[in-house]
Structure 1
Amino acid sequence: MANTKSAIKRIKTIERNRIRNCAYKSVVKTFIKKYLKVLSDYTNAPNSNGVENIQTTLGIVYTKIDKAVKRGVYHSNKAARMKSKLALKYNVIKK
């Protein structure tokens, strides 16, 4: 247990930030799963508006990842890797 007042405050701050970071990561993972679901639905039954759905969900996922980077949840290189993997999956489907 912390002895000084500043150390006690620091523990509270760290715990608050940890919970916040977990929430941001959860949101990003949820939207990635939604994007992958839209991709799999399109591969099973291709249709004209499926590409539009893929593009809009990909844009939303990019936004969520970028906001997580802005808040310090992810490092920018990790975010770039995540976005690159998602774009690669889209490009394979598009061809």
Structure 2
Amino acid sequence: MPHHKSAKKALKQSEKRRLRNKAFKSRVKTETKKFLAYLQIGDFEKAEQQLRVVQSLLHKGVSKGIFHWKKAGNKISKLFEKFNKAKLQTTTQ
């Protein structure tokens, strides 16, 4: 446990940030799962809307310092790749 006043304050601040970041990351994961569920059932309009929501959240996470910009870019890229691949498969069948 911290002994100095500044260390106690830093501990409280870091705990508050940790909880905020955890909630934000959880929301991103939830929204991503919704996107994948829409993709699974083949509802591409809702999937695309949900993809935009996830993309927005990831960009917001980068600006808040929750995600590294390359990690967010990779996640967005992978999601768009899945979306385009699924859409292409349904159009060719």
Query: Is TM more than 0.5 here?
Result: yes
Q: Distance in 1 between matches of 2:50 and 2:3?
A: 48
Q: Give TM-score, length-normalised by structure 2.
A: 0.91
Distance in 2 separating the partners of 1:38 and 1:3:
52
3-state secondary structure, aligned to 2:2: coil
Q: Which runs of structure 1 show a deviation greater than 6 angstroms over 4 or more consecutive aligned residues?
A: none
- Indicate the SS of the match to 1:73: coil
Identity of aligned residues (%): 40
Structure 1: gaps spanning 5 or more residues: 43-49
Shift of 1:54: 1.6
Structure 1 CA distance for aligned equivalents of residues 2 and 45 of structure 2: 54
Aligned partner of 1:81 among 37, 52, 74: 74
Structure 2: tracts of 5 or more residues without a match: 89-93
CA–CA distance in structure 1, aligned partners of residues 48 and 84 of structure 2: 11
Separation of aligned partners in 1, 2:26 and 2:87: 28
Paired residues for 1:1-95 under 5 Å: 1-42=1-42, 50-95=43-88
Aligned residues: 88
Using the size of structure 1 for normalisation, the TM-score is 0.89
Task: Tell me the CA shift for residue 20 of structure 1.
Answer: 0.3
Larger RCO, structure (CA 8 Å, separation 6 or more): 1
Distance in 1 separating the partners of 2:44 and 2:18 = 37
